[in-house]
Structure 1
């Protein structure tokens, strides 16, 4: 049978053109199949604090930002000591420090990928080679020992910055962890102060209750005298005794609450419950005033560690995106090796047993069924989540400040009314006691005036200590003395914000 060749069917010129067309088509398919990230981007942007309207809710008052020793202004020397003890011993701070250590280890690991890696290995193998396989006699059917030593080096050139982006991401995550630790410190210090203030409130209410017991015992003595004189009956006598017992019950309840709060303080200090029993009675001055500094919205982003942590998390997400984009480009790795390989020991380290390896390795993603694009989309989703978290954190921070300012204003108005009410109730009670002792009014009038006076005194006491609690909350809302600009955690607001937004949108 006669066979026909392509040259017999087509002229040589047409055959060459056909071959060229096929080669061009194959090249076009290869290029079309190359992985790329066209069309993947994000339009999410971090919010500028000046765009959040807050001038009426957060007015400039010419005050100062809290300092790290803000607790001293409450006039109780024990409070700063308790805060320092908590910061030194609370497990939550230790946990935050462990997260920083882990982030630092990841930085070291990421940094190592920027440099060549060198390793050496040695192997000794004793083997009986088959007489019926690859090696003929005299090797086949004989035992041989093989010595192999090889020193090798490799270096990823990182032409597209993948490894550098991974390192920058690790650095940003460490910064976020450091800011998180500062947030934990601010939260812990405020928790100690507010719990200590709660202890001060309970002791103040206890003092009110003790005075009430004294007042009711005094009324009881008046009642006893009136019963002896035949002006009152045993009904009034038993009523007076019951009122004293009720106040003593309230005193016992307050003692139980005081002990519970002491245990809470001990836990915040990172100690056992007995430590709480050693704390002296609080001497907090509830009449301090925290004035807002000027330009709160713009400066708050450097004063609140939770905002700073969120901002660094966005930085990490941005570098994560850069790393994912670099995955689309060729990876070039240089490798080289030198060593010796020989059967037995006689010629192991001779020149003829040398082995040398050298050459580049190139990895080019052409078709991966969309895996790289899916990975990049996931990184952008993380970025958008971090941006949303930052924006929400900034909004919450401003609202924290505004809420505490509004609560303090309302409380000050309420305090003025409560003090007037207490003064009036106290005067009414004193007059009712005088009239009751003189036989001009019944016991019921004294008891009613006493209840009113007690309720008003408790209200004033609660308001005074609630105000100091709100002052502590406002200090916490203003960052608790943290200042990123004095540390390596600072991020330039406007320039960095523009760079992040441009990076996220680019493709």
Structure 2
């Protein structure tokens, strides 16, 4: 039996070598030309950006400096269900690729069996009934296709490209998750700062209202001044309640995207420290870096898979050769199964040549080619969408510095205006209405400054994500 096993292995190796050396009808792959300019609009190259590392090479642990934010992102990577599904999809694609690759080799199996037959006397030549038995033990393979025209190899290539694309999909999901967690954390930081400002403003206006109430009771101010002070007080009170609700909602949103509860010590206290934790990126980057984005790589792998499928569709026009072979032992008695002279073998080659398929094969090839064209368009669309994401982030980045400078200057100006109005009101030079108007102006300017600072931080996250960073 050992000799039989050796012969089967030798035959299987020879068939596999023949298969791997077969011709391939897969069209030569050419990456489509990117339908975008070579440089981004609003990108300003600098000496620093020329030597700065690309975003795709910067790990998220290196980009986000705040230790608490890094811990929150790590929690999300461990617990987020969408990312877990993406990882399981990779395992499934890897298993499917293994199944498809196994078709390149014959499936060898050992079989053993017995058959018994009783022939009645009126059908027997001797006139007596008889029972015949046959025992067999074989080793071989069935319906193994010799891949002369690359059909099986094309399907194996398609499965491989699909598997690689699934891995890129997981990386893309991780980038999106990292950015989503960072943005949720930053929004919570901004709303906590707005809440602190609203509460501080409420306390200040409460003191101002109490003072105005006492002045009104003494007949020093009018009822209009009192009601205007109360209007500002209730506005700050409403804002404090609204931002309290937003902070709670932000915490719930952060817990959802993380996939688990976030410890209180990992939450931000305000936006100042949060902004300091998000690094700057160079603006002058060529558009070719888009090819490093996992979603672009995924679209290209899908294109390669569709290209390989054309090879399988083309191979279907050619003859297919399948082999069934076995070697073993057969005997009419169980104790003689492995005795000398009991060796048995079978070899059944089969060739199939398609003659009339009513256009099925041509239609299958047309479908494969059209799908390839669809994937080309999807690949180009993915590049265009990625280009726009980067361009939009750079366009916003180009004006954020000026916006921040203007908003800070506005807060300083309104603060001085409030001080002057307060002094003039206390000196009896100005009306209470002007003082209240200066208070409203200062409060609004401080809220707008928080919004612009949040936009600055989220823009850095968006640019990091758009340039393909965050999956390492």
Instruction: Specify if TM > 0.5.
Output: yes
Residue 437 of structure 1 is aligned with which of 397, 419, 426? Answer: 426
Distance 2:185 2:36 in 1: 38
- Stretch moving more, 432-441 or 454-463: 432-441
1:275 to 255, 262, 277: 262
Give yes or no for the alignment of 1:107 onto 2:97. Answer: yes
Distance across 2 between alignment mates of 1:125 and 1:265: 68
1:311-322 equivalence runs, <5 A:
311-322=300-311
Give per-residue Cα distances to partners, 1:139-160, cap 9 Å, x unaligned.
8855554434332235433112
TM-score when normalising by structure 2: 0.83
Aligned length: 438
How far residue 177 of structure 1 moved from its aligned partner, in angstroms, is 0.8
| CA-CA distance at 1:121 after TM superposition | 2.1
- Describe the SS at the equivalent of 1:147: strand
Say if 2:81 is the partner of 1:91. Answer: yes
Map of 1:237-248 to 2, 5 A cutoff?
Answer: 237-248=226-237
In the TM superposition, residue 215 of structure 1 has moved relative to its aligned partner by 2.6
C-alpha change, 1:456 and 1:131, in structure 2 (3 Å) is farther
Q: Which residue of 1 aligns with 2:11?
A: none
In structure 2, the partner of 1:5 is: none
Q: How many Å separate the matches in 1 of 2:408 and 2:253?
A: 31
1:291, 1:101 → 2: CA distance?
36
Provide closer, same or farther for how the CA distance between residues 125 and 92 of structure 1 changes in structure 2, counting only shifts above 3 A.
Answer: same
Deviation at 1:207, TM superposition (A): 2.3
Aligned: 1:48 with 2:33: yes
Q: Residue deviations 1:261-299, cap 9 Å, x none? A: 11111122221xx436553324312685322243x2123
Match of 2:280 in 1: 289
CA distance in 2, matches of 1:116, 1:74: 52
Deviation at 1:45, TM superposition (A): 7.3
Q: Which moved more, 1:236-245 or 1:41-50?
A: 41-50
Give the alignment partner of residue 163 of structure 2, picking from 169, 174, 179.
174
Equivalent positions of 1:484-499 (< 5 A) are none
Are the counterparts in 1 of residues 26 and 308 from structure 2 also a CA contact under 8 Å?
Answer: no
Q: 1:378 aligns with which of 335, 351, 367?
A: 367
- In structure 2, stretches of 5+ residues that fail to align are 1-24
Corresponding residue number in structure 1 for 2:395: 406
Residues 1:150 and 2:138 are matched in the alignment: yes
Q: How many Å separate the matches in 1 of 2:376 and 2:155?
A: 19
TM-score, normalised via structure 1 length: 0.78
After TM superposition, the structure 1 stretch with the greater mean CA deviation from structure 2, 221-230 or 373-382, is 221-230
In 2, the alpha carbon distance for the partners of 1:102 and 1:454 equals: 55
C-alpha distance in 2 between matches for 1:46 and 1:149:
53
In the TM superposition, what is the alpha-carbon distance from 1:50 to its structure 2 partner? 7.7
Residues of 2 paired with 1:419 and 1:165: CA distance? 62
Q: Following the alignment from structure 1 to structure 2, what is the Cα–Cα distance between the partners of residues 352 and 128?
A: 25
The question of 1:163 aligning with 2:148 is answered no
Secondary structure of 1:285's counterpart equals helix
Paired residues of 1:328 and 1:372 also in contact (CA < 8 A): yes
Inter-CA distance 182–166: structure 2 relative to 1 (3 Å threshold): same
Following superposition, the deviation at residue 192 of structure 1 comes to 0.4
> 1:440-495 CA distances to partner (integer Å, 9 max, x unpaired)?
33322222221122111111110111111111101100001558xxxxxxxxxxxx
Shift of 1:329: 1.6
Verify: 1:459 aligned to 2:448, yes or no.
Answer: yes
**Could you tell me how far 1:131 is from its partner in structure 2?**
5.5
Equivalent-residue separation in structure 2 for 1:330 and 1:139 (angstroms): 50
Q: 1:476–1:346: structure 2 CA closer, same or farther, 3 Å change rule?
A: closer
Q: 1:464 to 1:353 in 2, by over 3 A?
A: same
Q: Unaligned 5+ residue runs, structure 1?
A: 1-39, 484-507
For residue 44 of structure 1, report the CA deviation from its aligned partner.
Answer: 11
The Cα offsets for residues 96-148 of structure 1, whole Å up to 9 and x where unpaired, read as 1111111211222122222232122223344444566xx53558855554434
Q: How does 1:158-307 map to 2 (within 5 A)?
A: 158-271=147-260, 274-275=261-262, 277=264, 279-282=266-269, 283-285=273-275, 289-294=280-285, 296-302=286-292, 304-307=293-296
CA distance in structure 2 between the aligned counterparts of 1:435 and 1:471, rounded to whole angstroms: 43
Shift, 1:221, TM fit: 3.8
Deviation at 1:426, TM superposition (A): 1.9
Please give the secondary structure, in 2, of the residue aligned with 1:284: helix
